[in-house]
Chain A
Amino acid sequence: MNILTVIKQVPDSNAAIKVKGDASGIETAGLKQVCDPFDEFGVELAIQLREKRGDVEDIAVICLGGDKASEAMRTALAMGADRAIHINDPKFESMNELFAAYTIAEAIKKDEQNYDLIVCGKYNIDLDSGAVGPALAEFLDWPHVGAVTGLEIADDGKSFTARRRIEGAEEIVECTLPALLTIEKGLVEPRYPSLPNLMKAKKKPVQVLTSAELPGVEASTAGTHLDSMTPPPPRPECKMIEGEPEEMARELVRLLREEAKVV
């Protein structure tokens, strides 16, 4: 079984995000960036499948991003992936997830390896969108299961059963491989790469693809353009309610009915 995990370098969820003065994007100087936590779930899943099964031959990671993204790849390689494919070209920089999925799909089609399973995070915590996984499956004409919380792959490696959460329910689906999964929190707990493994990761092979290897991709960019980026609208100042507990409860309920009109 050959597994490909899709990863992305994103700003750390605890990092303060500053919008550029001209509203064209965010300030990246000094911004702490990490491998997306949902993508780490995917890498961890691949490694656990190798540990549990005897038939996982290849675990590759593929990453679309600039030079800095090599840090995310090093995390994945240190966790236990065998090799990385880095799609790195300024022409591919975009906040358009359909374009990202198309670019990754083109790289996979050119790859000599035949993958049985592709895993990605449920979504990336920068764009909060989650279109890459399903769109990648579409460009490959594979089925996908989104936001997986449970997974059992048959011993013969030809099919699987997966659980996923939807609003108010859980779906249990069966599917044959090859397929793509996007991973929800809770399926696996990512390991911390050890220092020796981080050193070893530096020696693992990284294949770099640019627009020279993926000709024509940039022409496919879909008509989604960023107009502006702003901090979210400020919330009104918090009205602090004082008094004895009984008064406090009465006053809060009164305000919620008469002022906020939510009950």
Chain B
Amino acid sequence: MASNILVYVEQRGGNIYPATFQLMHVAAELASKTGGQVEACVIGSGIAGLADKIAACGAKKVYLADDAEFESYRVMPYASALSAAIDAASPKTVLMPTTALGRDLASRVGARKRAALVIDCTEVDADGEDLIATTPMYCGKVSSKFRLTGDRLQMVTIRSNVYPAAEPADGATAETVSVAAALRAEDTRLSLKEIVSTTSGVKDVTEADIVVSGGRALKSEENFKIICDLAEVLDGAVGASRAACDAGYQPHTRQVGLTGKVVTPAMYIACGIDGAIQHLAGMRGSKVIVAVNTKAEAPIFKLANYGCVIDLFVLVPLLTQEFKKLLER
């Protein structure tokens, strides 16, 4: 019976997506229960050097699909490469990140392999041969546990920042295995023309450990500067409610909520956000939630760990100063 855990290592331009190291942590936990080992798969071009970094985090074997064809992400060639790695590794479970690309790839490869698949898990655990995957549903209003039976390949994508990252150990090495995927004409009908960075040096809300968000109460794009200043001091990202984005105060790439992005940072500071159900769906998984709002009855306080009933224009600049004092020490 298969018992190994295969981690899909998402990389762009040779940089490993940070959540990968969290997947390595989960893989080690699962492998200790299944009695298998942790293995990894990297797809890209000129990415052989990444194997050591993955080995340092516990992978015993790294499957490399290293070919000019995989220079940029295209779903069908990547699906073929990952399928080939799965054929070579015969893992029990495949772990992937809940990212735009991870969702794409997991769904396609899951279909191709007739796998048991759960997307966007907040917890996974082995139960004998089965895998128990917990995932939020109905905009986060329900938490569901699915049983992925051991008679099939088990595939899950795991939400960022729910698990800690694996600690790298010096000097660990892994056996590398190269994987080839024969591409068909069908696989290359889609091509990448361009990747445009939308963050311009600022962290994306889905990646940051701390997110500072503003709502409609900010009243203008200029006023958002106090939110940006606080985010900068905390080395965090700037988020916004749907109302603030629709009003043009912030780009939709920063929108947190049901129709925006789902974020799970260590700390979420909601400034002038009342907490419409659709917004809560996008941030309720945050570890610590701070709410700053003039309305004591705002729904956001039901979810918050810490609440301040005060005008954000008064408190936020003071908070920025206090954090500055603390962090400069």
Contact = CB atoms under 8 A, between A and B. Distances in A.
Contacts of B82: none
Contact of B305 (A98, A139, A236): A236
Nearest to A37: B259
A252 B111 contact: no
B190 A250 contact: no
Contacts of A236: 305
Interface residues of A, number: 82
Interface in A1-47: 11, 13-14, 16-17, 19, 26, 37
Contact of A228 (B120, B141, B144, B322): B144
Interface stretch (A55-63, A199-207, A241-249): A241-249
A125 B282 CA distance: 12
A135 B99 contact: no
Contacts of A97: 107, 117, 119
A157 to B, nearest CB: 15
B196 A126 contact: no
Interface in B174-199: 186, 189-199
A235 B137 CA distance: 17
B147 A227 contact: yes
Interface stretch (B20-28, B60-68, B284-292): B284-292
A232 B306 contact: no
Contacts of B79: 138
A147 interface: yes
Contacts of A128: 119-120, 135-140
B100 A147 contact: yes
Contacts of A186: 252
Given A232-B141, A256-B267, A176 B103 contact: no
B143 A229 contact: yes
B2 interface: no
Contacts of A134: 75, 103-104, 107-108, 111
B101 interface: yes
From A165, A173, A224, name the one whose CB has the most chain B CB atoms within 10 angstroms: A224
Nearest to B301: A238
Contacts of B290: 252, 256
B104 A146 contact: yes
Nearest to A149: B252
Interface string A168-209: 111111111001000001100000000000000000000000
Given A165-B100, A232-B284, A263-B234, A253 B319 contact: yes
B76 A125 contact: no
B327 interface: yes
A36 to B, nearest CB: 11
A235 B307 contact: no
B100 A238 contact: no
B188 to A, nearest CB: 9
Given A165-B100, A262-B267, A138 B210 contact: no
A249 B145 contact: no
A143 B17 CA distance: 24
A97 to B, nearest CB: 7
Contacts, number: 267
Given A127-B137, A167-B99, A257 B326 contact: yes
Contact of B146 (A143, A165, A227): A227
A81 interface: no
B111 A139 contact: yes
A248 B192 CA distance: 50
B191 A175 contact: yes
B151 interface: yes
Given A129-B119, A233-B143, A185 B252 contact: yes
B116 A224 contact: yes
Interface stretch (B47-55, B218-226, B308-316): B308-316
B153 to A, nearest CB: 9
User: Of residues A134, A179, A240, which shows the largest number of chain B Cβ atoms within 10 Å of its Cβ?
Assistant: A134
Contact of A98 (B110, B138, B198, B281): B110
Which of B100, B138, B278, B305 has the most CB atoms of chain A within a 10 A radius of its CB? Answer: B138
B100 A256 contact: no
Nearest to A262: B267
Nearest to B145: A227
A17 B319 CA distance: 37
A13 B139 CA distance: 7
B277 A13 contact: yes
A126 B137 contact: yes
B226 to A, nearest CB: 13
Nearest to B204: A168
6 contacts: A131-B117, A145-B190, A223-B149, A235-B289, A238-B307, A239-B305
In the A-B complex, list the 6 residue pairs whose CB atoms are closest, starting with the nearest.
A223-B149, A134-B107, A249-B318, A135-B111, A131-B107, A168-B204
Interface of A: 11, 13-14, 16-17, 19, 26, 37, 95, 97-98, 101-102, 125-135, 137-139, 141, 143-147, 161, 164-176, 179, 185-186, 220, 222-233, 235-236, 238-241, 245-246, 248-250, 252-253, 255-257, 260, 262-263
Given A147-B100, A224-B148, 12 more contacts: A102-B111, A130-B119, A172-B193, A173-B193, A220-B114, A222-B116, A225-B146, A231-B142, A245-B318, A252-B319, A256-B290, A260-B305
